[in-house]
């Protein structure tokens, strides 16, 4: 008798950068030996030998067995496979199959018949409650994701990356640096409740895979604890990618920007933004006017995946007292072309990604004439990670990642030129300088404080279903309302870089 489950995850077949297998390498000769115990249901330390059964493209299958693992009498015997796929958002579990769990274990289904769930194996404790993904990537500071698992995908989990720490396991003579993931897991309606629920902590070593799991099952005092530890492997721990989050997408993140352009603005355009919707590292940032020559309400969707931080969609309603030059491309009718209304418009203009997932000094990327971005912007050019610099703006002093871009939009000098962006860890964009091809310069800087709708009657609420459609009107005849706030935005026209 065997238990098994298949997963229909064809949509997850995405192109993945070469480094994406670092958290779970799977060369044909890779091998691991894990030992697991359960403080109530399996107190005999049980070794499992794990090998790579097969690998094709981004998909691979690991096989385990207790045969030949030098287990003591009384250890449960098992054999099985667990399949994975490397995707653009991390490691996904696509299938599993094994001998049934010992009869003494809790039944993790609503009925005994055809129950495909088990926690009687090392890798079953890794994938339980989190199949898509098992491990989210890129793994950056503050990353969190929700997932489901089990045969019917009825076990839920909330997963948080808690940074890296040194962990000691028998496989290595010295402690190894590992990423720590804590998961809150919930299963309801199983005969064996509450065994399938609890708090799981998994430590992942880059270049090796999971090296330790502690699953504290629900049930109060005396509840079972499952522990899995790596005993040996032919894989070598490596330094994980830097986890600095240069464009965070967490709910509650907010800020204010001042945008100046001496040629077109007689006073700074000040706008506030906030992230008010976010899930699985995709978020919506809302932008609104504070003061200045523009009256703006906008929404921008960003997502973080292994191919970088991408601008997915946007919608803006705007009216202007300033006459800004038009943008292209000439292949689109005028009412379908983009506009510069917010700092995010300046930041995302041209092509994706805004930033690579794991930016490194000297890294470059370029516009693709066959891409969706090119059909929208018609921009050729390239971007380069310059490195980290100290930058001072009214919002503070930051060690910021610098990205420099060269942009060309034929026939539209305002959409051409050079752009330099500064991104601070945990903060996002803190400064931007766009030297337009018409000789003007747009400068954006993060401010302290600020309040929305200062001096303007608010625009009608933005309907998100209208994304990717842009609307602008003239403010001729527009009326100022009484200012709703007089709080200073603490923005200055002077910045310093060193």
**In the predicted model, is pLDDT for residue 462 greater than 50?**
no
What pLDDT shows up at residue 33? 99
**In the predicted model, is pLDDT for residue 444 greater than 90?**
yes
Q: Give the C-alpha separation, 411 to 377, whole Å.
A: 12
What pLDDT shows up at residue 448? 80
What pLDDT shows up at residue 452? 38
Ordered domains of the chain (ranges, CATH): 3-233 (2.40.360), 254-497 (no CATH)
Confidence of residue 450 (pLDDT cuts 50, 70, 90): very low
pLDDT tens by residue, 252-267:
999 999 999 999 999 9
Confidence of residue 113 (pLDDT cuts 50, 70, 90): confident
What pLDDT shows up at residue 19? 53
How much is the average pLDDT of 131-159?
Answer: 96
pLDDT tens by residue, 19-74:
557 999 999 999 999 999 999 999 999 999 999 999 999 999 999 999 999 999 99
pTM of the full predicted structure?
Answer: 0.87
Confidence of residue 476 (pLDDT cuts 50, 70, 90): very low
**In the predicted model, is pLDDT for residue 453 greater than 80?**
no
- Go through the chain and tell me how many residues it has: 498
What pLDDT shows up at residue 487? 41
What pLDDT shows up at residue 219? 95
What pLDDT shows up at residue 1? 33
How much is the average pLDDT of 467-473?
Answer: 40
Lowest mean pLDDT among 19-23, 230-234, 235-239, 377-381: 19-23
How much is the average pLDDT of 384-412?
Answer: 98
């Amino acid at each position: 008798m065997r238990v098994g489950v298949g997963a229909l995850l064809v949509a997850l077949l995405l192109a993945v950068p070469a480094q994406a297998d670092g958290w779970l390498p799977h060369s044909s000769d890779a091998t691991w030996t894990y030992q697991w115990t359960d403080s109530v249901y399996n107190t005999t330390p049980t070794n499992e030998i794990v090998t790579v059964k097969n690998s094709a493209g981004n998909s691979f299958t690991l096989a385990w067995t207790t045969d030949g693992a030098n287990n003591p009498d009384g250890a449960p015997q098992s054999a099985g496979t667990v399949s994975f796929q490397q995707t653009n958002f991390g490691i996904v579990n696509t299938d599993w199959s094994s001998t049934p769990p010992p009869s003494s274990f809790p039944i993790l289904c609503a009925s005994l018949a055809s129950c495909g769930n088990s926690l009687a194996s090392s890798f079953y404790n890794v994938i339980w409650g989190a199949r898509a993904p098992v491990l989210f990537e890129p793994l950056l500071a503050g990353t969190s994701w929700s997932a489901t698992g089990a045969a019917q995908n009825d076990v839920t989990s909330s997963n948080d990356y808690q940074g890296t720490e040194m962990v000691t396991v028998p496989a290595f003579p010295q402690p190894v640096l590992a990423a720590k993931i804590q998961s809150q897991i919930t299963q309801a309606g199983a005969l064996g409740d509450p065994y399938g629920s609890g708090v799981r902590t998994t430590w992942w070593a880059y270049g090796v895979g999971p090296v330790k799991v502690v699953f504290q099952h629900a049930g109060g005092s005396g509840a079972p604890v499952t522990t899995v530890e790596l005993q040996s492997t032919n894989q070598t721990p490596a330094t994980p990618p830097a986890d600095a989050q240069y464009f965070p997408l967490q709910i509650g993140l907010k800020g204010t920007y001042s945008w100046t352009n001496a040629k077109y603005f007689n006073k700074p355009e000040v706008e506030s933004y906030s992230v008010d919707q976010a899930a699985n590292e995709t978020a919506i940032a809302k932008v609104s006017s504070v003061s200045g020559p523009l009256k703006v309400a906008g929404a921008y969707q960003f997502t973080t995946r292994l191919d970088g931080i991408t601008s997915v969609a946007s919608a803006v309603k705007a009216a202007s007292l300033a006459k800004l030059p038009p943008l292209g491309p000439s292949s689109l009718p005028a009412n379908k072309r983009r506009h510069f209304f917010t700092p995010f418009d300046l930041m995302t203009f041209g092509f994706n990604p805004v930033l690579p997932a794991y930016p490194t000094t000297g890294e470059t990327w370029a516009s693709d004439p066959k891409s969706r971005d090119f059909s929208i912007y018609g921009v050729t050019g390239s971007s380069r990670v310059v490195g980290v610099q100290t930058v001072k703006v009214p919002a503070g002093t930051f060690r910021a990642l610098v990205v420099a871009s060269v942009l060309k939009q034929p026939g539209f000098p305002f959409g051409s030129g050079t752009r330099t962006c500064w991104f601070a860890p945990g903060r996002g964009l803190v400064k931007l300088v766009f030297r337009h091809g018409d000789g003007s310069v747009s400068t954006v800087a993060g401010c302290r404080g600020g309040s929305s709708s200062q001096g303007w009657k608010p625009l009608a609420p933005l309907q998100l279903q209208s994304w990717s459609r842009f609307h602008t009107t003239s403010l001729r005849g527009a009326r100022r309302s009484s200012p709703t706030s007089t709080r200073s935005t603490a923005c200055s026209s002077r910045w310093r870089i060193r």
